[in-house]
Amino acid sequence: MVVEGDSVAWVGSEGAADSFADGVDEVIHLEGALVTPAFTDAHVHLTATGLALTGLDLAPATSLADALERIRSYAASRPADRVLLGQGWDDSRWPEGRPPSRAELDAATGGRPLYASRVDVHSAVITTALADLVTDLAGKAGFAPEGGPLTADAHHAVREAAFGTLSPVQLAEARRAARARAASVGIGALHECGGPGTSSDDDFAAVLRLAREEPGPRVIGYWAELVTGPADARRVREMGARGAGGDLYADGSIGSRTAHLTAPYADGPGHGNQYLDAAAVAAHVRACTEAGLQAGFHAIGDHAVDNVVAGVRAAAEELGLDRVRAHRHRVEHAEMLTPDTIAGFAELALTASVQPGFDAAWGGTDGMYARRLGAERAVTMNPFAALLRAGVPLAFGSDAPVVPLDPWGAIRAAAFHRTAEHRISVRAAFAAHTRGGRRAAGEDDAGVLVPGAPADYAVWDTGELIVQVPDDRVANWSTDPRSGTPGLPDVGPEVALPVCRRTVLGGETVFDAG
């Protein structure tokens, strides 16, 4: 491969490449390494990811007692922090089966303010001292008077109060840490999903500014506010956002029991939270389409996904199907799908921005999905194969810090889905994590290594290249060498995943393992 400036100039055989060697500035001998397009993570929260990397990460906690000890130790090590920040706890994995109480957190922190978000970032536990900093917290939707996790408006209020205590230096350090981690795992582009309740105008602007001013992964911004007309669309564009979507919440999450379901949760009361109905979805898509702006929604529960499909279809009936399809409106997460909603995605040309790491973390017969939804609904979650069969474009991401920045891990999770019928080939998963994310943002010439494409690539140390498919009975023709199907690294559950040696963006090295 020959790179000229910021683009790929030539790709061909090793013998033909020798003719270029005398006229280039640098020759990199791969010595058996693999070159791939750089990955795109189609759904991240950079500042929160960086704060998890630089602060209190509760994801490794194996029990409630372990989490409380980690909080106690962290509080002792940070005497000057006005508010202690933590994230990533997952009570569904703990033997106690419950989150920490406010009294337990008060004791662990010595009465200091603490905000600790659940792994899905749709609920959080806090201390009494932090609750006292928020005006009328008890009157907000989602407040838990018994001291349990806060959701909805109450959660957004305490999150804003906690993050408001961070200094510009702390925030910049976190953003740099997140981009550096992304580059170190071969990620060349990130879709930052900001919005009210998730981040702030200032944070979103700072993330995009950092990406413009400092080397590292490209950042494509999505801002999650409803668009009602040209003025709103203009504001989204002036913020530097590619679209009005990302985490524009139609509902919440399964783990926090706020995803909007058609039938009640199996392990708790209620159907979850509806934040947008079909009429609100239709109005947003209509206004975005008329303004030439990409729209998107966060939708996880089956009722929420139904509302999104119904709303987009209503907009298409009013404006014309082709006009709506042309904008490639997005649905983030899209976990609880039915044959009807999958057909709706295909009909309306909706991109499914999905996270295979969710199934790896919470799928299976004994996982969080099964506990929250029951076995029958749990096995329907994240049906990647059905989406691909229907022709729905997939863009893979992590929703970091919900699950780590780990593209090869996501490919493994999709190829070895805990529900066998939802598995896809490694090549299809690879495409969804490279070209899929760039196409979802309207960049059709990126995410591949062909002449004229951006020189965004990663160099990997890896083992044997093979062709892995989910079911040999159906697709064994593709594994025959005579088919000419190119191989990719073995991502089997017991195999070491590739290690990034170098990441190059626009011809410039942004990560070098040395």
Per residue of the chain (514 residues), what is the pLDDT tens digit? 999 999 999 999 887 888 887 888 888 888 899 999 999 999 999 999 999 898 899 999 999 999 999 999 999 999 988 899 999 999 988 999 999 999 999 999 999 999 999 988 889 999 999 999 999 999 999 998 888 999 999 999 998 899 888 889 989 999 999 999 999 999 999 999 999 978 899 999 999 999 999 999 999 999 999 999 999 999 999 999 999 999 999 999 999 999 999 999 999 999 999 999 999 999 999 999 999 999 999 999 999 999 999 999 999 999 999 999 999 999 999 999 999 999 999 999 999 999 999 999 999 999 999 999 999 999 999 999 999 999 999 999 999 999 999 999 999 999 999 999 999 999 999 999 999 999 999 999 999 999 999 999 999 999 999 988 876 544 454 555 555 678 899 999 999 999 999 999 999 999 999 8
In angstroms, the CA 409 to CA 102 distance is 35
Q: Which residues pair with 115 in a beta bridge?
A: 85, 126
Q: According to the model, what pLDDT value does residue 122 have?
A: 84
Q: According to the model, what pLDDT value does residue 471 have?
A: 67
Q: Which residues pair with 118 in a beta bridge?
A: 89
In angstroms, the CA 352 to CA 307 distance is 15
Region for 243 from its dihedrals, namely left if φ exceeds 0, alpha if ψ lies in -120 to 50, beta otherwise: beta
Do residues 191 and 45 touch, judged by C-beta distance below 8 A? no
Radius of gyration of the chain (CA): 23
Token readout for 252 is: 């919440």
Q: According to the model, what pLDDT value does residue 21 have?
A: 79
Give start and end residues of each alpha helix (H) in 60-151: 64-77, 102-109, 128-131
Do residues 293 and 327 touch, judged by C-beta distance below 8 A? yes
Count of beta carbons in the 10 Å neighbourhood of residue 190: 32
Find all residues with CB under 8 Å of 191, minimum gap 6, and list them: 40, 41, 42, 43, 44, 219, 220, 221, 222, 246, 353, 397, 437, 440, 441
Find all residues with CB under 8 Å of 18, minimum gap 6, and list them: none
Q: According to the model, what pLDDT value does residue 47 have?
A: 94
Q: According to the model, what pLDDT value does residue 328 have?
A: 97
Task: Parse the chain into domains and list their residue ranges.
Answer: 49-164, 224-354
Element (H, E) at 84: strand 84-89
Token readout for 223 is: 């801002």
Find all residues with CB under 8 Å of 505, minimum gap 6, and list them: 38, 188, 215, 216, 217, 218, 454, 455, 456
Do residues 451 and 10 touch, judged by C-beta distance below 8 A? yes
In angstroms, the CA 377 to CA 320 distance is 34
Do residues 154 and 142 touch, judged by C-beta distance below 8 A? yes
In angstroms, the CA 336 to CA 329 distance is 18
Strands 508-512 and 114-118: unpaired
Region for 246 from its dihedrals, namely left if φ exceeds 0, alpha if ψ lies in -120 to 50, beta otherwise: left
Find all residues with CB under 8 Å of 317, minimum gap 6, and list them: none
Do residues 253 and 151 touch, judged by C-beta distance below 8 A? no
Say whether the peptide bond before residue 196 is cis (omega within 30 degrees of 0): no
- Just give the CATH number of 224-354: 3.20.20.140
- Claim: this prediction has a pTM higher than 0.85: yes
- Just give the CATH number of 49-164: 3.10.310.70
Dihedral sign, CA of 328, 227, 261, 301? Answer: positive
Q: According to the model, what pLDDT value does residue 103 have?
A: 94
Element (H, E) at 213: helix 201-213
Comparing CA positions, the residue from 76, 80, 89 lying closest to residue 116 is 89
Token readout for 97 is: 């089966």
